[in-house]
Structure 1
């Protein structure tokens, strides 16, 4: 396979994944017209249409799906081996793509990444915030961040934060109009601010534990968001109860802007972990990031 063909196949994979020429061109750092010409040339050489194009969407044809399924993993292996040549460089380099919740990205990832990119100018980092259970292999992320007990057994998990607690809180104004819940089941009588999980699109069930008893409560309310920052704002405005990491709520609880409830039902659990596929050989830049994030208890 010529170098030109390899590059064209790699470009096709990006377009098929993004399902949009504009987004794919931006990711590849080329013009949209140049990318379209590349794909047309690849289709002409193969004598097959690989993509169905409309004004709004791009989707692989049957031939395109087969190409993605059978050749895609091999192209990724080749690209990864080329990235591994960074071992021969004096300085770590390359692009690292990470996915995490908004709070994990802000409180744990960003402080470390900020220092790393200043120290190593050849390292580039992309952080995508997402509350869904992202498939990092399918979505082509190098790693993700989740609480330890939610990570699949076939992944390598590195602890990057202390133990966590979830917390339920509402504004003083809210509790002037509503009674304070004494047990998780009472939440069904309250206005609760729901979190929409991306990917499968479901609402996040509020989880509780006390003395070994575990409960999962499906709450209801007028508001649903897919970001923790908006849930926080709505709770401060008295629009309902929030269920978020206690560390995220603590400054507002301590200042009196929010009232903490059901604390005896929110036991500590495994903190944030960075996870990535066990079969993948980390690049020098990625290994450097992992060691920088690794949690070391004081």
Structure 2
């Protein structure tokens, strides 16, 4: 292999990951035309077409797909070699790409982000927010954060938050207009705020515990006049008296504490596995990821101790 081809190989993997010259160029800080020329030069050197290009999409050819499967592990080995140098310097550095839902970002990361930056100034933390599962390897993520019950079995998981509780709540203003529900069946008479998953496009069905049956779970279909794919917006709607909310208790703890929101059907609140950081199985965790995991575990332990 000609060492001069290495930047073009990195560009090839990035274009394949994004399925777009424009997005790959933006990530790499170069122009799309320069990136395209680099890929065309690589194709000429290899004497094979790597991508099928149209005005609307970019897709790997069969040969390009086979080449990607061999190149990607090789580049990962090179990245690992650089990370091993960080180990010898005992100074974490580089870009750490994490995929996680917004609620995990707001509960676990944002409150401690400034401290993490002070501790590890050479680590660039890049967070991609979505509520679905991403291909960590294929999309270039170092790790993801999801609820424990959602994790794939072939992933290495590190528990973070401990068990979480989901509660139902509404504002005092709302309960001035509507009586509080006494049983789950009463929810049909209430305006329930509903969450639509951005990835699957499905509407979340409220999951309730069955009193006296620790393992019993009841799914409740709800009706309402407001649907959103943003949890913060849904909480704000509840605060303004639009309807009832079903959400992780920790996310609305300030509103519950100061009375902006009031819990209902508390005995039906469900407790479930909390957040875990997950990653593909690796023989050695990069230093930048290891310090991130240790940092989150430390902060979660402190939160549980309060």
Give how far 1:120 is off: 2.3
Residue of structure 2 equivalent to 1:53: 53
Give how far 1:96 is off: 0.8
Q: Deviations over 1:82-139 (max 9, x none)?
A: 3333223242211111122222212212334422222222111111222223343333
Residue of structure 1 equivalent to 2:265: 262
Residue of structure 2 equivalent to 1:230: 233
Distance 2:109 2:219 in 1: 29
**Do the aligned partners of 1:252 and 1:258 also contact (CA within 8 Å) in 2?**
yes
Count of residue pairs brought into register by the alignment: 298
1:221 is aligned to 2:232: no
Give how far 1:70 is off: 4.5
Distance 2:110 2:261 in 1: 26
Give how far 1:169 is off: 1.6
**Paired residue secondary structure (1:165):** strand
TM-score (norm 2): 0.87
**Do the aligned partners of 1:19 and 1:57 also contact (CA within 8 Å) in 2?**
yes
Q: Which runs of 5+ in 1 are unaligned?
A: none
Deviates more, 1:171-180 or 1:94-103: 171-180
Residue of structure 2 equivalent to 1:100: 100
Flag as ranges the 4+ runs of structure 1 deviating above 6 A. Answer: none
Q: Deviations over 1:54-104 (max 9, x none)?
A: 444322233333333444344334333333332232422111111222222
Distance 2:283 2:227 in 1: 37
Q: What is the root-mean-square deviation of aligned Cα atoms in Å?
A: 2.3
1:266/1:135 Cα in 2 relative to 1: closer, same or farther (>3 Å)?
Answer: farther
Residue of structure 2 equivalent to 1:120: 120
1:198/1:80 Cα in 2 relative to 1: closer, same or farther (>3 Å)?
Answer: farther
Residue of structure 2 equivalent to 1:251: 254
1:11 is aligned to 2:14: no
TM-score (norm 1): 0.89
